[in-house]
Amino acid sequence: MKKILKEYILPKLKKEGVLHVSLIDPDPLRQSIEEGGKMGKFATESGTDLIFIGGSTCFDRSFIDKTIIEIKKHTDLPIILFPGNISGISAHADSALFLSLLNSRNHYFISGQQALASFTFKAFNMEPIGTAYLIVEPGSGAGWLGDAKLLPRNKPELSLGYALAAEYLGFKMIYLEAGSGSNTSVPEQIIGLVKKNVSIPIIVGGGIKTTDDAVAKVMAGADLVVQGTMLEETLLKDKGKSLAETIKAVKLAGKKRLE
């Protein structure tokens, strides 16, 4: 079994202060398998550290498998699943976030789906990175599909309660999510408060569309910054130029945080 958390993420974090993550959503309605491969190529050339594969609406495992195989032709970076549901688990990935949507109203998204997915993880001998998934307003599709009781943006202490619970329950990472394509991202106040009080790595994603916003997340305490929409959009518009600039700024901010 590959151990991406222990052997790649944690040492890189210690050395560089932050990891930039590119999210590719293997959804046939969004892009073809070849385009997915192109996104992986662009993300790698732009300097990203890690590729997440997943989304709330991708249900076709064979399409996910093929997309990962295509991406692997263009990158040596670890590919980690970010599954929106149990059909999002592919044996071709290197590792996977084993997500529990702690602030869901529906136990299926907290532990039910996980119990079913565990058989596949066992069969695939795949690393399950236990990750508490916390959805903050506005939440977008992930919030709706996961039946989340969205964490209020103006009450950071409520997010902190869930983050502390995640650490006490033994999760390896926390994912603060504002929802893919949201018009706003997770507030720095929430990230900062969580960072001050928990010691496990914090992933932040959803609605991070500009370099300044990405840098603000790092300076507030994000350990992994996830961008999906920006990768999709800049690939089409400016051939990924602004993604490369953002990644450069994120990495610089990570170094600054280490000083």
The yes or no reply on residue 180 touching ligand 1GP (CB under 6 A) is yes
| DSSP classification of residue 148 | B
What is the residue type of 11?
Answer: P
Please state, in angstroms and rounded to a whole number, the distance separating the CA atoms of residues 130 and 162. Answer: 15
Find out whether 231 and 249 touch, Cβ atoms under 8 Å: no
The yes or no reply on residue 141 touching ligand 1GP (CB under 6 A) is no
Phi, psi of 34 (to 5 degrees): -65, -40
Residue 219 contacts by C-beta under 8 Å, 6 or more apart in sequence?
Answer: 188, 253, 256, 257
- Between 130 and 258, name the residue whose CB sits nearer to ligand 1GP: 130
Q: Binding segment for ligand 1GP among 69-77, 102-110, 113-121, 223-231 (CB under 6 A)?
A: 223-231
**Taking CB positions, which residue lies at the least distance from ligand 1GP?**
205
The yes or no reply on residue 208 touching ligand 1GP (CB under 6 A) is yes
Provide the phi-psi class of 139: left if phi over 0, else alpha when psi is between -120 and 50, else beta: left
- Between 56 and 75, name the residue whose CB sits nearer to ligand 1GP: 56
- Between 7 and 238, name the residue whose CB sits nearer to ligand 1GP: 238
Please state, in angstroms and rounded to a whole number, the distance separating the CA atoms of residues 30 and 75. Answer: 21
Nearest partner of 37 among 63, 4, 11, judged by Cα: 63
Which residue among 26, 78, 139, 206 contacts ligand 1GP (CB under 6 A)?
206
- Between 138 and 152, name the residue whose CB sits nearer to ligand 1GP: 138
Which residue among 5, 23, 102, 117 contacts ligand 1GP (CB under 6 A)?
23
Please state, in angstroms and rounded to a whole number, the distance separating the CA atoms of residues 123 and 141. Answer: 30
Find out whether 228 and 216 touch, Cβ atoms under 8 Å: no
Find out whether 46 and 39 touch, Cβ atoms under 8 Å: no
Please state, in angstroms and rounded to a whole number, the distance separating the CA atoms of residues 25 and 48. Answer: 16
The yes or no reply on residue 17 touching ligand 1GP (CB under 6 A) is no
The yes or no reply on residue 146 touching ligand 1GP (CB under 6 A) is no
Q: Binding segment for ligand 1GP among 61-69, 155-163, 204-212, 245-253 (CB under 6 A)?
A: 204-212
| DSSP classification of residue 132 | E
Q: Binding segment for ligand 1GP among 88-96, 174-182, 215-223, 236-244 (CB under 6 A)?
A: 174-182
- Between 142 and 235, name the residue whose CB sits nearer to ligand 1GP: 142
The yes or no reply on residue 228 touching ligand 1GP (CB under 6 A) is yes
The yes or no reply on residue 177 touching ligand 1GP (CB under 6 A) is yes
- Between 54 and 156, name the residue whose CB sits nearer to ligand 1GP: 54
